[in-house]
Amino acid sequence: MSARAPDRMQIMTELVNETEVSLLECKVCFEKYSQKKKHRPRNLPCGHVMCLECVFSLAHPRNFRLECPFCRRACKSSETSDCLPLLHLIEILSRATNIPLASGTTTGTGDEAAVSASLGLTFNLSFGGWGTLINPTGIAMCRGSDCVVVAHDGKKRIKLFGLSGSCIQQFGERGDAGNDIKYPLDVTVTLDGHVVVTDSGDRSVKVFDFNGRGKLIIRESFCLPWGLDTTPENEIILSDPEAGALSRLTANFKKGELKKVQKIQSNLCNPREVAVSQTSGIIAVIEHLIAKGPNYSSTRVKIFSADMKLIGQMDSFGLNLVFPSKIYATDLAFDREGNIIVADAYNQVVLCLGKPEEFPVLRPIITQGLSYPVALTYTANNSLIVLDSGDHSIKVYTAS
């Protein structure tokens, strides 16, 4: 058996090399696809694929339109999307051979450990991966049980993990029944241990206990419920991008009784991700500014006091004055000290914007090892958990 092992490895390596040439190479610039932003494979509406850098290079600088170099069909750069089959293939082949397929694919933990020591974070472990999680969208922490709750596109929409990576519970079938979940966007956990999910499939908010039993469904109060977080008073702050509003949801979650839905902020521009400080009640929200142009156009972070007075705001342009690359915020969270932590999927980093009174004081805290960070949460001991949709994993950075 030992004599045949090198032959199998050689065959697998040759297969990977052949696959790289035939499938995993941009046919415009002939660079290898990777999970890095510049060479991520992008689908055009016509069905052809090229890397993100070629999309931006071919797009007109004013109207952002481009012609497919293969069939000449016109489209806008904002109409392109990640080619998930190729991204999944990159990940599968990399794991099968234990060799990196391109400079953007990481197989070890060396890159993940490259974090700033200023906030005392050290890479600890990663778990999940394709199959265990499929295109995850939201993450939350149950501080009472130290469980990580993830919303994703799998057969069971909600998964609960221990901090060691073991799956404890899963529920939420995809379907039309009352307790089913069609397309989850975000998730939070109440102080009394109930899982609250926003479902874009039927534009509702759904509440479950930890065993997956449905407790409450709210449909009439929102246009498109999106991001949500729990307040220190066990209420839910929820964003509605179509209504341009933030709402406060009050309920007896144990009995499944809705008490009140109150709109607390309006005239926001496409608000999606939201976070609440568990110490001060301060609310932070990410607005996705509507503009003609490519993806990752612009975002704005707004900070409100607990009584909804605007404390500060900063958009991508302003952050670009203190950071060398344009920032596209995909989620945010508060650490135990009250610092605002932001995930930037475009630059594949996690940044600290400082406390609200000093906002923004920008410090990168994770600069390598991330593919497409989409969500953040913190444990009770101030460890940072990053949901990385690029490789369908959960990455834990513990406080030193």
Alpha helices, DSSP H only, in 41-114?
Answer: 52-58, 84-97
The stretch 245-251 carries a mean pLDDT of: 97
Same domain as 293, residue 195: yes
73-120: pLDDT as tens digits: 888 887 888 888 888 777 776 665 443 443 333 333 444 444 344 456
Alpha helices, DSSP H only, in the chain?
Answer: 5-22, 52-58, 84-97, 316-320
Asked whether the beta carbons of 342 and 329 are under 8 A apart, the reply is yes
271-322: pLDDT as tens digits: 999 999 999 999 999 999 875 544 446 899 999 999 999 999 988 766 666 5
pTM: 0.72
**Greatest CA separation found in the chain?**
71
> At which of 59, 77, 95 does a domain end?
95
The stretch 127-139 carries a mean pLDDT of: 93
Please tell me the distance from the alpha carbon of residue 394 to that of residue 391, in angstroms, as a whole number: 9
Task: Quote the DSSP letter at residue 356.
Answer: G
Asked whether the beta carbons of 378 and 335 are under 8 A apart, the reply is yes
The stretch 209-217 carries a mean pLDDT of: 94
Give the orientation angle of helix 5-22 with respect to helix 84-97, to 10 degrees: 160
Asked whether the beta carbons of 323 and 361 are under 8 A apart, the reply is no
Is residue 100 in a domain? no
Asked whether the beta carbons of 312 and 319 are under 8 A apart, the reply is no
Asked whether the beta carbons of 55 and 64 are under 8 A apart, the reply is no
CA distances for 298 relative to 64, 125, 269, 287, angstroms: 15, 32, 11, 9
Three-state SS for 214? strand
Is residue 110 in a domain? no
CA distances for 300 relative to 45, 288, 318, 327, 329, angstroms: 28, 7, 9, 10, 8
315-372: pLDDT as tens digits: 876 666 656 667 889 999 999 999 999 999 888 899 999 998 877 778 889 988 899 9
| Confidence at 176, pLDDT banded by 50, 70, 90 | confident
The stretch 221-240 carries a mean pLDDT of: 96
CB atoms within 10 A of CB 261: 17
Q: Give the CATH number of the domain where residue 270 resides.
A: 2.120.10.30
Give residue 257's pLDDT. Answer: 96
Same domain as 214, residue 68: no
C-alpha 134: how far from chain center: 12
| Confidence at 2, pLDDT banded by 50, 70, 90 | very low
53: containing domain: 10-95
The total number of structural domains in the chain stands at 2
Give residue 281's pLDDT. Answer: 96
Same domain as 327, residue 225: yes
Is residue 243 in a domain? yes
Same domain as 228, residue 303: yes
Q: Which amino acid is at 268?
A: L
Give residue 102's pLDDT. Answer: 39
HSE, side-chain direction, 13 A CA sphere, residue 322: 13
Strands 156-162 and 384-388 come out as unpaired
Same domain as 136, residue 89: no
| Confidence at 8, pLDDT banded by 50, 70, 90 | low
Please tell me the distance from the alpha carbon of residue 194 to that of residue 207, in angstroms, as a whole number: 7
Q: Which amino acid is at 36?
A: K
Q: Give the CATH number of the domain where residue 46 resides.
A: 3.30.40.10
Give residue 104's pLDDT. Answer: 35
Is residue 163 in a domain? yes
Same domain as 89, residue 145: no
Is residue 112 in a domain? no
